[in-house]
Chains A and B, each alone.
Chain A
Amino acid sequence: MTVQLLAGQLLLGLINGSFYALLSMGLAIIFGLMNVVNFAHGAQYMIGAFTAWFLLTNFGVPYWAALVIAPLIVAALAMIMERLLLRPLSNLDHLYGLLATYAIALIVEGLVRQRYGATGIPYDSPIKGGIHLGFMFLPWYRLWVVVFSIVTCVGTWFLIEKTRLGAYLRAANEMPQIVESFGINVPKMITLTYGFGAGLAALSGVLAAPIYQVSPSMGSNVMIVVFAIVVIGGMGSISGAIITGYLLGIVEGLTKIVYPEGANMVVFVFMAAALMWRPDGMMKSN
């Protein structure tokens, strides 16, 4: 194998890893506070991309504005969904939350397919051109995705692990009633957190639109891998989700060189190994 090939796959892995990291981080945040495995995450990602495309084709809203507007719209919808659907289920077994979000995912994906068809719709890249690195041509847009996702992940990690707000989230996960007895409106905090997680998914969707095209199944395709990543990183661990997201993106890229047929399943091999080796996830302390 050549150095060029290696470096090229590393970079491609990093780009895929950017999406894995953003999506698994959102899942981990939601799971960490609500103990709900948010199966609607893929649909929220897809709706983020569709919203950006819809805003552009119907109202001429450019990518950069959609990057802000689409996550806000999806977050608002998600918060309504949390209040109407997830909150009434929150006292029951967490399996009900999982099933409810899965149902939403199937319905949303079905409706979008019905309306817009199953084929991918291209979305023009907002940044043209790129740079010849010698081993490959790197479009500027992909560089932007990598940088932006790293900044978003680090910023979110900081918010949750290092600030007062994050301490409330972690504490509310342990003992919500005690946190509420300190005068904190925990139900509202849960709604906002779900909205934030869904907004992150939509943000990833907008980022993805120019790279992977916009299609109804884009969410469910990527989420299978992302769920595996969250399991490997430790359910609910923010740093675990981020690091595992990037690492497995890269591992997947490298597998394409040594054993291309295995690239699609290498993540699941890791997941199985992680479940056997450390069922709690790699990043969980104690």
Chain B
Amino acid sequence: MSETALKSSAATAPAMLSVENLHAWYAESKVLHGINFDVREGELLTLIGRNGAGKTTTLRAIMGILQKRTGSIRINGDELIGKRTFEIARKGIAYCPEERAIFSSLSVRENLLLPPVLKPGGLTEEEVFEIFPNLLRRASSQGTKLSGGEQQMLALARILRTGSRLLLLDEPSEGLAPVVVKEIGEMILKIKARGYTVLLVEQNLRFARKVADRHVVIENGAVADILTAEEVERAPERIQSYLGV
């Protein structure tokens, strides 16, 4: 299937995740002020915006890591507000955090095999290593001995086995050299081609444009704009103005 075919099928697919009027707080400080967007099945949607806009907070609120939240978050119709993190994960959502969270007490292979398979339909270990061949070579190293890029790949790789079909990825390009960012981009496209639905947080517009179907611009804890990939290609200034680039 070509990339455009993937994009057009995602454009008409039903919403897998819908976020409605999401408000969230860190203790007393309110960070999200009514976020609204849908992620369609098979789609790759970015949350794009400046530092401190609330992108990570949105993912943490969806995942229930941030418990103080109101509004509605539904996956395939099931409400997630009020649910605990492990219950949300069991609905088929996997989370790859900004800090990558590789366990230092575990080897690369142990890190990879740690998340339990929650549902059928995930990749096998072999299929994961096909996408990430360099992890196979380092399989017995200690997880945190890998380079930043390899740790990012490991963090992506380990959530593909679980059978979760919705992936929340927080800035996989952050802090990596341009060649590594390019590699990660290709891996994400391969993941998408496997039919995963992806909600990707990004600040790197070039990277986001290569992989995304749609972009949700977050500003000051609210949605400022929603643009399709085509709209961005036609008039990139519009999204650039939000990011100040």
Residue ranges of A at the interface with B (Cβ–Cβ < 8 Å): 164, 167-168, 170-171, 173-175, 177-186
Contacts and interface: CB of A to CB of B under 8 A. Distances in A.
18 contacts: A164-B113, A167-B110, A167-B114, A174-B104, A174-B105, A175-B103, A178-B101, A179-B114, A180-B84, A180-B86, A181-B63, A181-B85, A182-B86, A182-B114, A182-B162, A183-B115, A183-B118, A184-B116
CB-based closest 3 A-B pairs: A183-B89, A182-B115, A180-B85
B103 A171 contact: yes
A175 B86 CA distance: 14
Interface residues of B, number: 22
B90 interface: yes
A175 B155 CA distance: 14
Question: Is chain A's binding surface mostly helix, strand, loop or mixed?
Answer: helix
Contact of B101 (A167, A175, A183): A175
Interface in B25-67: 63, 65
B119 to A, nearest CB: 9
A175 to B, nearest CB: 5
Interface in B86-125: 86, 89-90, 94-95, 97, 101, 103-106, 110, 113-116, 118
B55 to A, nearest CB: 17
Nearest to B107: A167
Contacts of A178: 95, 97, 101
Contacts of B104: 174
B89 A182 contact: yes
A168 B118 CA distance: 15
Interface of B: 63, 65, 84-86, 89-90, 94-95, 97, 101, 103-106, 110, 113-116, 118, 162
A188 to B, nearest CB: 9
Given A178-B101, A183-B162, A186-B86, 8 more contacts: A170-B105, A170-B106, A171-B106, A171-B114, A174-B104, A178-B95, A183-B115, A183-B116
B103 A170 contact: yes
A54 B63 CA distance: 49
A173 B114 CA distance: 14
A34 to B, nearest CB: 16
Nearest to B104: A174
Contacts of A168: 114
Contacts of A177: 65, 85
A237 to B, nearest CB: 11
A180 B84 CA distance: 9
Nearest to A171: B103
A257 B55 CA distance: 68
B112 to A, nearest CB: 11
B164 to A, nearest CB: 8
B219 to A, nearest CB: 27
Contacts of A182: 86, 89, 94, 114-116, 162
A177 B86 CA distance: 9
A167 B162 contact: no
Contacts of A164: 113
Contacts of A171: 103, 105-106, 114
A185 B116 CA distance: 12
A184 B86 contact: yes
Nearest to B63: A181
A137 B113 CA distance: 51
In this complex, the member of A173, A178, A185 whose beta carbon has the largest number of chain B beta carbons within 10 angstroms is A178
A285 B43 CA distance: 44
Contacts of B65: 177, 181
Given A181-B95, A183-B115, A183-B118, A167 B90 contact: no
A182 B94 CA distance: 7
Contacts of A170: 103, 105-106
Contacts of B114: 167-168, 171, 179, 182
A174 B115 CA distance: 15
Contacts of B116: 182-184
